[in-house]
Amino acid sequence: MAFIDIAGLPAESLAAIEYLARGEIVKGVSALSYAPSLGVTREQMALYLHRVINWPVLAADEAIDSTAFVMVFASLGVGGGSASWRAPRVLMTNQHVAITTTANDSGGYTYSENDFIVKANGGWVRSDRSPTGEPAFRVIWDRYHQDWRDIAYLIVPEVLWEKYLAARVAAGLPREPRYINLREARDVVQGEPILVTGSPLMYDNVISTGIVSKVQVSQNSNGNVIEYVMTTAAINPGNSGGLAMTFDRKPVGIPSLKPWTHTGFGWSIGDDMGLILHWREILAFEEKFKHEFGYVGITL
């Protein structure tokens, strides 16, 4: 919104109006006029409250269309998680969703790329490490600093991408999904409502909401300090790798994990304490590994 009649208001009022306008809670009396001198009617206040209560509905379609459900078939069983469409043929997710640790002969653990099945709204696509003979997904992740940002990308082969687009059309959806533009992200404030989408416990297209309980928390991983946003929104098994958004539909980051019991991280006890990998960490990863995206012909 670009209201031209609010310039003389206090800075706090300007910030509040801008915030509510971004979320389409207030829309002014016209495209350019907010009419700050007018009183708010009971009908207008009821409308404001209705929009605030129902803001997840405004963002749900966009969030769900950006989210895919990922299953990883590994020697230790079947894992599930979520991912977001970052660009055509590019799914953005957590490393712990895309890469599974398997025990090696020496008793240690080796990170390995495994079979993938991806369900997005149009239908299923899968890799060829199974008898199908279809091309395999390429996985881009930081194999040298294990889990230091907990982020990975699935590059969908062209033939599977075309099958997915055709399935969307057959399902009556727009041909291409909505893509996440991290350049549109913005910083959040404490107490701000946010939305998390994903596939918890393999129930796809689930929307949960909460608030930002802390704008920045840090974790030291192999000497690297990683920045997260803490939230009360549910981040349960399968939500990892999904999408976190503000109520004005700006990306916050990737739902990553919630605090666990042993050594600080283990089976969860933090049901109201989820961590979202900050969008700046994602952009930093992309900058570091942009040569790999270029190698496979992908532009973010």
Question: What's the CATH code of the domain at 233?
Answer: 2.40.10.10
Same domain, 35 and 84: no
Chain centroid offset of residue 103 CA: 30
Q: What percent of the chain has pLDDT over 90?
A: 22
Q: What is the pLDDT of residue 116?
A: 82
- At 208-224, the pLDDT tens digits run 888 999 999 887 766 77
Which of 126, 161, 178 is the last residue in one of the domains?
A: 178
In a domain, 217, yes or no: yes
In a domain, 295, yes or no: no
Same domain, 263 and 186: yes
Alpha carbon of 222 to those of 217, 219, 225: distances in Å? 17, 10, 8
CA distance linking residue 268 with residue 258, whole number of Å:
6
Q: How confident is the model at residue 169 (pLDDT cuts 50, 70, 90)?
A: very high
Strand pairing partners for 128? Answer: none
- Which region among 75-84, 86-95, 243-252, 264-273 has the lowest average model confidence (pLDDT)? 264-273
Q: Which of 154, 164, 8 is nearest to 92 (CA)?
A: 154
Q: What is the pLDDT of residue 269?
A: 57
Chain centroid offset of residue 163 CA: 24
Same domain, 69 and 174: yes
- Which region among 91-105, 177-191, 225-239 has the lowest average model confidence (pLDDT)? 91-105
Q: In which domain, by residue range, is 282 found?
A: 182-287
CA distance linking residue 195 with residue 247, whole number of Å:
7
Q: What is the pLDDT of residue 254?
A: 93
In a domain, 293, yes or no: no
State the pTM of this model.
Answer: 0.80
Q: What is the pLDDT of residue 252?
A: 94
Same domain, 191 and 246: yes
Same domain, 167 and 199: no
Same domain, 154 and 81: yes
Higher-confidence residue of 123 and 269: namely 123
In a domain, 299, yes or no: no
Higher-confidence residue of 225 and 252: namely 252
The answer on pLDDT for 44 being more than 50 is yes
Alpha carbon of 79 to those of 22, 43, 166, 289: distances in Å? 37, 49, 27, 26
In a domain, 158, yes or no: yes
Same domain, 214 and 130: no
Same domain, 230 and 275: yes
Same domain, 162 and 244: no
**Rg for the chain, CA atoms, rounded:** 21
Which of 138, 156, 178 is the last residue in one of the domains?
A: 178
Alpha carbon of 150 to those of 147, 224, 257, 261: distances in Å? 5, 12, 10, 19
Burial class (CB in 10 A: 0-12, 13-18, 19+), 30: exposed
Which of 178, 210, 240 is the last residue in one of the domains?
A: 178
Q: How confident is the model at residue 77 (pLDDT cuts 50, 70, 90)?
A: low
Same domain, 140 and 201: no
Find where tokens 């840090």 sit.
218
The answer on pLDDT for 76 being more than 80 is no
Same domain, 133 and 162: yes
In a domain, 58, yes or no: no
CA distance linking residue 166 with residue 234, whole number of Å:
33
Mean pLDDT comparison of 17-26, 128-137, 238-247, 269-278, highest-scoring range: 238-247
Same domain, 188 and 253: yes
Handedness of CA 38, 43, 47, 48 (dihedral sign): positive
Q: How confident is the model at residue 278 (pLDDT cuts 50, 70, 90)?
A: very high
- Count how many domains the chain has: 3
In a domain, 230, yes or no: yes
**Cβ distance 85 to 118 under 8 Å?**
no
